[in-house]
Chains A and B, each alone.
Chain A
């Protein structure tokens, strides 16, 4: 007799899937332009999913759907972040869609599908589930990147992302098949059991891990799998770029952590060096290559590469402290990036988007509050105390120091010095350069709301760090418990 699996842990995902399909129907059958309506409902669905998700936090570790889906504190924490990012980017996108008069209701639907994919990734407990989540997310994002289909650069971005993403998926599948071949299992628990305490590891498994890592590194745009990032960031519509910069990064990093410390937890020796190399290369490239950028979206691409490098330090440490550092880092990163992209979205002159850094010149005079907010984000990204970005780096570096990984910590500090240059340059342009044309105002109520909220979080984080720290602490602990 077929028994229905326990669906409670997957409730938010089910909810989102139903909502996405339902909204698709609504969009198709509504006569007039349904974008605003569908968008509003999409935001509502994401918020509801978030509330349900947070309420699942008290559930102990459970696996369901035949062991393919796992829900633990780690998953809840990361999914909450992903949903928050999705809600914020959805709000930003709706405002953008209105301004650009792109009346297509598929956008919010695709956004929900992408979010669903991310959540599946986070909860994946099987190589198959991992791949499914990853592809659901990726396919949605490929479409979103090319969403501005009359725009040459947007379509180029979508195409590039798709081709390279396909390659990355191929690498990942290749690695997965190696692992399956040598361990005879796809479930993470089974793989862990097959590998034992990691005393004798077949070379094939190592190769498989490397390929798997490469595939995931592509998603988080770690060097040398980062090449798509600047082009896609620049070409994709700005709200999509904002989504790229946050949601998938968080989800993919969480997935990376889950895979590495889960089934391959005893194989730290095998994957540790790869993560260290990825981290170092990302930090260095993120710091140096950004210096010559003139396009702020490209700059943010390199910035995100650098941030991934810092977050990977925590992964490389490979213990609870390291994971906690990563989670704190990602949470703060979310707010900084969403805030920055809100400003970038507000960069329009005479109804047209601009994205050059020099367009920001004299912003402190034409729009002092926005300049102040962006200055806060930039200082925070540069890691200047007492802003939140400083603490994000701090916890990661502390974890590295405690694990005696001095090279990573020292290089991290050095590259953040280099990185400070281009963050501070933006502040300099805003405050000290001769004013350029001012941006269109007002920027809209929802945008102001996001901007104010994120900048306050970044500014005042140091007063109330407890909530985030304990949350990240328990989340990280749940991962290492079992």
Chain B
């Protein structure tokens, strides 16, 4: 029996968007105690003041990014920590962990992917004045989720 699950994984690509959205919803509900829902209006795309990214390698190869405004990132950190005030490093740390958990939760939901896909430690960029170039130029899946009235963009970009 073949142990190569990459074909099976890629064959599920059409269903990735709802799987990604479910992965995001679960992380927010469990770790932040907040319900988030996908929105379809492209004008709601957030200001990219904070971007967290986690690399994927193995049967899925690419990058997962979570992008939001500074205010939204701070609100997420407050929710996670249950504190009224959070430091800049806690904001970056919390956003990185959210991205990490979304990546892990997403791959755990794809049959056959989990065993052969590794995540990197997260990286967080603050400030919106940058261009993002990924070497993983292939299929991408993106969703905009509404969190406490603010939008968050979650994007999975994979190598062909």
Instruction: Tell whether A and B belong to one assembly.
Output: no
